[in-house]
């Protein structure tokens, strides 16, 4: 039997999705504990949870499964791509094969370049847009934070 502390509800407050593409439901929704203030988790964490009650887990999965990404050519997606490339500017998969943020390999000036498929930003973009191939113009337009107008 599932304990009351394992019950959650979908709430209209984003959590855990600041790097997700435009319109992704984690910008708008997360899961909060129903009984007390014991947890706040992203929809993805809820959907993958082994301890959350089945109904809440299913609702989180349903929201994620119904989401339709904008086309890759959409200006908001292009902007997102440039921000992701900027955020992960010099970050690559760890030598052990991990994509965990704390384990990424950070290249310094003068380091030999690594294959583009090992770039953390490319890895994240391809999670949503598997067909994505970076262009020189994408790398040149990469930034993080507020875009500076030309």
Q: Does one domain contain both 38 and 85?
A: no
Looking at residue 2, its pLDDT comes to 55
Query: Higher model confidence: residue 113 or residue 1?
Result: 113
- Any domain includes 146: no
> What residues does 33 pair with on adjacent strands?
8
- Residue-number span of the structural domain to which 52 is assigned: 4-66
Q: What is the pLDDT of residues 12-59, one digit of tens each?
A: 887 778 899 999 999 999 999 888 778 899 999 999 999 999 999 999
Last residue of one domain, picked from the residues 12, 43, 66:
66
Read off the pTM.
0.87
Q: At what angle do helices 120-128 and 75-87 cross, to 10 degrees?
A: 150
The radius of gyration of the chain from alpha carbons, rounded to an integer in Å, stands at 18
Mean pLDDT of 131-149: 89
């Amino acid at each position: 039997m599932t304990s009351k502390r394992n019950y959650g509800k979908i709430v209209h407050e984003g959590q855990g999705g600041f790097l997700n593409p435009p319109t992704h439901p984690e910008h708008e929704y997360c899961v909060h504990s129903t009984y007390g203030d014991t947890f706040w988790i992203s929809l993805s964490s809820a959907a993958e949870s082994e301890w959350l009650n089945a109904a809440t887990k299913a609702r989180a999965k349903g929201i994620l499964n119904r989401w339709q990404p904008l086309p890759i050519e959409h200006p908001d997606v292009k902007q997102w791509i440039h921000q992701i490339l900027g955020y992960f500017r010099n970050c690559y998969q760890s030598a052990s094969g991990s994509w965990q943020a704390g384990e990424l390999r950070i290249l310094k000036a003068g380091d030999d370049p690594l294959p583009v498929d090992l770039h953390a930003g490319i890895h994240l973009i391809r999670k949503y847009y598997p067909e994505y191939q970076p262009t020189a113009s994408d790398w040149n337009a990469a930034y993080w934070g507020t875009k500076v107008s030309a």
